[in-house]
Amino acid sequence: MSESLILRVVTKWLVPVILLFALYVQFHGDYSPGGGFQAGVIFSSGFLLYALVYGVDATTRVLPEAVLRIGACLGVLLYGGVGVVSLIRGGTFLNYSVLAETPVAGQHLGIILIELGVGITVACVMLLLFYTFARNIPPQ
């Protein structure tokens, strides 16, 4: 936790930009470098910066640990769910071509969904790791 006014103000300005950039990397990963994994890490680093400057307790008020635990599992569930849906629709596991009318549209939809699953899981696990590590820091 930092008492420095400059750090506090800059962090407040920087966190939304980092989160926005993470969303850009997440949903623009089809066209430019990036994807779910990178986006998840960047998204979590936004909250990490907040936690470093304002303290972990302030961050857990925004993102409680219970939410992160559910989110971490939800991401994998979304990924596997896409696979199961493609099974139900008559394709093989994780064959996105059957998800929409045309194979290419199905592929696009499937890729966006599973990248979202990857992003959610990675972001939640990274923050969970940080919370767990930070809780073991003895008070000054």
Specify whether the CB–CB gap between 72 and 52 falls below 8 A.
Answer: no
Per DSSP, the chain holds a count of helices (H) and strands (E) of: 5, 0
Residue 59 lies near another protein (rule: CB under 8 A)? no
Specify whether the CB–CB gap between 98 and 92 falls below 8 A.
Answer: no
Closest by CA position to 49, among listed 100, 2, 86, 109:
2
Task: Tell me, residue by residue from 84 to 113, as one string, x for binding to another protein by CB under 8 A and - for no binding.
Answer: ---------xx-x------xxx-xx-xx--
Among 80, 85, 89, 98, binds another protein (CB under 8 A): 80
Per-residue CA distances from 17 to 24, 34, 94, 116 (Å): 10, 17, 33, 19
Nearer to another protein, 15 or 72 (CB): 72
Token code pair at residue 125 = 């696990």
The least CB distance from residue 15 to another protein, in Å, is 14
Residue 30 lies near another protein (rule: CB under 8 A)? yes
Residue 70 lies near another protein (rule: CB under 8 A)? no
- Interaction site with another protein (CB under 8 A): 25, 29-38, 41-42, 44-45, 48, 52, 69, 72-73, 75-76, 79-80, 83, 93-94, 96, 103-105, 107-108, 110-111, 114-115, 117-118, 121-122, 124-126, 128-130, 132-138
